[in-house]
Structure 1
Amino acid sequence: MDKIKVLIVDDSAFMRKLITDFLSEHPVLEVAGTARNGEEALRKLQELQPDVVTLDVEMPSMNGIEVLRKIMSSRPVPVVMLSSTTKAGAENTLQAMQYGAVDFITKPSGSISLDLHKVKQELIDKVISASKANIDKVYSDEKHTEPDSSHLSEKRLKTNFKKPNEAPFHPKWEERRKKLVCIGTSTGGPRALQQVLTRLPKEISAPVLVVQHMPPGFTKSLADRLNMLSNITVKEAEDGEILQKGTAYIAPGGYHLEVRAVGASLATSLTTTDARNGHRPSVDVLFESVGRIENFSKVAVIMTGMGSDGALGLAAMKKQGSVKAIAESSESCIVFGMPKAAISTNLVDDIKEVDEIAAAIMHYI
């Protein structure tokens, strides 16, 4: 089995040594080299031809964002950013995700983190996952125009995703009921969410609930950024607020997002119960919560991400009521993990490329 070659870029010699030691311990990872600044990184990128780059966001002279943009234009390769949890760090990291970084790791205690061991396993997992990313999609030129109507025909679930001897389960769709939209995503999610939320019309007659796997300190910046770009209102969810049509609520990092009935209305509920699938917020927790809401028809969307979060929650939703499920296609996913797991349940109604998902949601709304 070929090893995954990694180039480590950080201006701190201590951090370069620590990251090298962590990654070298894993049998499938090989540290091909290190670089202390952007110029050296770009040179070694050509010399070493790594499979993945880890890149510090905050570096002097040429910062991580500038290096990332040059990598994209010279030799596209999966990049995992290392960032601080400051407000500026969060905003820079989200900018990096938009410019093509596959994923990011937060340093536990600033630029030089003596306690980096706390995120050692996460770093290893994300480097390995990044090596499998859909690079053609990550670095393709984004088209920010509305999709051509010829591409909006429904792509029905392919029969090869059905489990043997198992009939599909399709509860009746109650079109006249009030609607609720819930979206789950992870690796590659910020870019995918931008593609979807910016295409939803301001007058959408449903609230939208979003779980994006992110640590505390980043979801507020994500919500603010998407709010500036979207026709609908996008905000970080607060505990106990009444859901409004035309508003998307993003689960705060470190909290599960659930929904509860308050009279004839619905309200958010933020909880710190145990992580599910290694995540808090968890898509399964949101979907299961939405599934318990009565007298609503729900649209569930699962987009790009590593792992299987959302598949069990989708099954729970389908058992309890009127649900239409949309999964992002492998062609547009950065990582086809979560959508693939959802599709394998045989409960997904439509498989769509990311730029078609908003139209698919509106079809049901």
Structure 2
Amino acid sequence: MGFPFFSGLSCFGDSSQRVTNPSSSDPTLISTEPPSSIITELCHQFTLAEIQSVTRNFEKSLGESRFGIVHRGYVGNTYKPVAVKQYKKDSGFGFLEFKNEVVLLSQLHHPNLISLVGFCVERNELILVNELLPKGNLYHHLHGRNIHPLPWKRRLQICIGVARGLHYLHTGAKYTIIHRDIKTNNILLDDNWEPKISGLTLSKRVSLKSSKSLKRTESDIKGTYGYKDPEYERTGVLTEKSDVYSFGVVLLEVVSAKPPREIYREYLEDCNQSLESYAEKNVDRFLKSKIEPDCWKIFVDITERCLLAEGRERPDMGEVEVELQHALQFQEEADRI
């Protein structure tokens, strides 16, 4: 579909509430195109009073990240539950980043991408209102206390959904969208365990060329420790293959149930052993003897390729999705026997 972007801050209401100097050379954030009716149709602007009402004055906190605090709220006549993210004023998160996320979420639509309900910009408050995903994030289900471990087939299905969502970001619109912060905290789960990618705060929009070469952009180093692509950290050049690397870390985290910091210290920092050897030694004890051998071989192979040192050698997310589907087929066939 088309990817019209609005100009300036026309979607953000009264000019007295706007940032006074929104100019930037970063094409991710600013466009000279006229305002799009899609924005006003799909992106509701809440007043701060409305936000305070739907959250009962920010009564119920669902969690906190480095950028903001998420509150539970209810909107509309049906009292639809929503997640209201109130950005911290001291987080280093600015208006242009906020605008970037609103624009992207307003115009990107995919079953494996979080849906935007609306936003609020008022009295120095920056607030996003998203659909509420009842099962929380994948990180909690891998590392939380007093939870039932996810079965292997479900973990595979979640990974396939995330791969599908990333493939859409990279190829499904007029521009390549590089997420830049793929991690299990940003993978949310609905009632049916369908994953939805969130956290597009740091995402970059890159022109989609007709050639199959990598989409490159110079970028400040952003992302989360343990998930960041070392090639991106070393060169400052961001490509969609940086997301592929981060997803490879997610795959290792899913199969081991180890936090990414541990994975980085034990394996990724110096890679002094094969990935297959590391994965076999560190597979989640709940999964031992439950993974079909051919499924395991495919999973380990695609994970290893995602984590290759050179981005150009890594697979694209479409290939990753296909390989994970193949792995799932082997597992399902074995489970039927």
Greater strand content: 1
Which structure has more helix as a fraction of its residues? 2
**What TM-score do you get using the length of structure 1 for normalisation?**
0.31
